[in-house]
Chains A and B, each alone.
Chain A
Amino acid sequence: MSLVVDLRHEGPALRFVAEVPAGTITALVGPSGSGKTSILRAIAGLLRLRHERVNFAGEDWSDSERGLHLPTRLRPIGLVSQHYALFPHLSAQGNVETALTHLSRRERALQALRCLELAHVAGLESRYPHELSGGQKQRVALARAIARQPKVLLLDEPFSAVDRSTRKRLYVELRRLHGQLGATVVLVTHDLDEAAQLASHLILLRHGRRLQAGATAHVLTHPCCEEAARLLDIPNVFDAEVKLASSGRTLLLRWGPHTLRAAGALPPGIDGPLKFAVLPQNLVLIPADKPWGGHLENPVQAVVEEVITLGGETIVWLRPEGLPTTRLQMRLPERAVRRHAVTSGKAVTICLRASDVIPLGLQPAD
């Protein structure tokens, strides 16, 4: 029971293979031009590719090898596009009823009202799209998309055109709605925070290729390769050498004069030089008054170069000892900075826990 997608196309290049677990919210995240919308449109059947296979719960929707391409109108999908694409000549209710032409007139009206209620726009059914705010349009579009009780709900950057506070409310409503409908939701976004808040699964995309896929919490903290780390906005990506890799258990890295212990196995295809990542919020600052010895994991001496506070959180740039060209970014709560008197020029000890040192693999070939 999952949505299996295998799409290949030349110019613009798309080589995308993924399995979206049924009943989850899965986010497709990537920079603009990475093919997110094309993938969504291919799932909907609005885009036909040279090589395509879309299968939901064992039922083929597209299979280019067999020449099969189920028309969009026959696929059990709902789509909310970036600009909602409401029918401007129809009221909110008329918009939703358009998706219910298979029902009798009476049932159509009842079901449309139910959907508008679910999307929290009850009372606005007689309004026309130009009389609705951005958030209301979005909700009506959502009501229309869920009207046919789709098995797969496709959302193409649905929150990009509404203001921040509306967006937060819509997140909550989407999660609630997802709980009620149980549909498989594929959410396209370029906003990592949005993906982190909404999706239980995450697929990272770049140049039409899948970089990484998995549970959101894992993908966000464990990039598989340098490219993924960049997409996840992780600034600390460094070059190191493999010092020791034994039976996939112990991995020792040489980072300048430092030896770092990393948890996990050496990524396949790597020997000798490799890159690793450390999330800025995972660096641990060791208080100067605390005696430290062998029990500390990967202690590194560093000098504070720059301290900038942004709304309660402080970004600290450090220069690790023996690595004159490397800048390490650390994020600390503002009060921690005050307590430890972290200021420019101060020598500090930080600790890179082995579980937070993430060896990066090669970019996936496919």
Chain B
Amino acid sequence: MDWTSIRLSVELALVTLAILLPLAIAVSRWLAVTPLKSKPWIEGLLALPLVLPPTVIGYYLLVAMGTRTAPGRLFERLAGHTLAFSFSGLVVASVIFNIPFAVQPLQRAFEAITPDVREAAQCCGLTFWQTLLRIELPLAGPGILSAAVMTFAHTLGEFGVVLMVGGNIPGETKTVAISIYDKAQSFDQASAGAMSLLLLVISLVTIAVSYGSMQRLMRRRRAA
């Protein structure tokens, strides 16, 4: 077992969650209620990581993080190293390729809240933030849980983008998925097998939790 890469993967997943979840909540809440005509285009853009090959996303991210682009140069000036092939770069990439996994369950959850419930909150004298905290977030709870576990599991398992953007630097960018690939390449079947089994179990549990919470959401929607 390559504990360093496992710890790195978990760290990456947690940091990704901490950054992505609040952003995804804001975006999906907005998408759930906006009457904007161009909404399908925005949704399509956010869902792109689902259909694009990871290497394509990885390639564009690598180019964007390089010193030939303004953001890349700015980061290098501030941090002293390039964004690519660093943990920070991995976080940026991870946040981006996880967008659909976080936004979609959240958007479904916010859409499940009927307009009359939001209006009832206004009639109860609640401000926008009070409504969000007391009514909408608790009601979207299963969606938030689902978004969190999907993001977490997906970050642990992502391979293509990580390899493109982060390379294979132990302790910095070598995640558990890459480590499994490494071990398998060097015929360390025992380690590769153990780590694969660990990822399998984590994925199964997270998907089951996610489906369970979705079911609860649907039940609540029907009951309301």
Contact = CB atoms under 8 A, between A and B. Distances in A.
Interface of A: 41, 44-46, 71-74, 77-79, 81, 83, 85-89, 98-99, 101-102, 129-130, 144-145, 147-148
The prevalent SS among residues of B at the interface is helix
A44 to B, nearest CB: 6
Contacts of A88: 117, 139, 220, 223-224
A87 B123 contact: no
A72 B134 CA distance: 17
Contact of A46 (B114, B119, B127, B138): B119
B47 interface: no
A102 B117 CA distance: 20
A83 B126 contact: no
Contacts of A77: 123
Interface residues of B, number: 21
- Sorted nearest first, the 5 A-B pairs with minimum C-beta distance are A130-B223, A85-B116, A99-B124, A85-B120, A72-B122
Given A72-B122, A87-B135, A99-B125, 7 more contacts: A45-B122, A72-B119, A85-B120, A88-B224, A89-B141, A89-B220, A98-B134
Contact of B123 (A79, A86, A102, A130): A79
15 contacts: A72-B122, A73-B122, A73-B123, A73-B127, A74-B125, A79-B120, A81-B116, A81-B119, A85-B120, A88-B223, A98-B121, A98-B126, A129-B224, A144-B124, A145-B123
Given A88-B220, A89-B138, A98-B134, A72 B123 contact: yes
B4 interface: no
B215 interface: no
Interface in B103-147: 114, 116-117, 119-127, 130, 134-135, 138-139, 141
Contacts of B141: 89
Nearest to B141: A89
A106 to B, nearest CB: 18
Contacts, number: 74
Interface of B: 114, 116-117, 119-127, 130, 134-135, 138-139, 141, 220, 223-224
Contacts of B124: 73, 98-99, 101, 144, 147-148
A359 to B, nearest CB: 43
Contacts of B135: 87, 89, 98
Nearest to A150: B123
B127 to A, nearest CB: 6
Contacts of A87: 117, 120-121, 135, 139
Contacts of A98: 121, 124, 126, 134-135
A280 B9 CA distance: 82
Residue of A73, A78, A145 with highest tally of chain B CB at under 10 A: A73
A146 to B, nearest CB: 11
Nearest to A81: B116
A262 B122 CA distance: 52
A86 B223 CA distance: 11
A148 B120 CA distance: 13
Contacts of B116: 81, 83, 85
Nearest to A96: B124
A87 B124 CA distance: 11
Nearest to B224: A88
Contact of B119 (A85, A89, A145): A85
Contacts of B223: 88, 129-130
A217 to B, nearest CB: 32
Contacts of A86: 120, 224
Nearest to A47: B119
Contact of B122 (A46, A89, A144): A46
B224 to A, nearest CB: 4
A130 B222 CA distance: 10
